[in-house]
Structure 1
């Protein structure tokens, strides 16, 4: 169920309530003082959980925000050119 944030008309702190999306009240009663409280826009709770999929999304998101930086270009290893043992190949032109 979605969580909604309400702000009291007095000086109380904001509070949250869960309601189904089909019945979202615009006003609620403050649990501290009992006055009316209006619904306000709150921050979305994205990525809440501790599953493997959420951890993977968090790791992917962190690499997009702050990628790893290398200090130098990695060296390139050359493969040794295969040498043929056939004596007829020795007469071929070399690149």
Structure 2
């Protein structure tokens, strides 16, 4: 569900929750019944947590001008152990 904002000339703004993409251009005002037109507002991105916002900012910044790499990164990650093979498949030919 998305929140859409409509503005009535008599009563001001009205927020309505509707499924995404189903908002009509006008609705009847819940208070007075006159036609209220849809108002386009900025999305509420400020409600996201800091990590998600940082990832979005980094992705947006690297889209048009990716950082230049001058050396290989240091590998600090440990390798995962090799998975155990199923003994039933040990006799199958290997490539």
Structure (1/2) with the larger strand percentage: 2
What TM-score, normalized by structure 1, do the two folds share? Answer: 0.47
Bigger Rg over Cα: 1
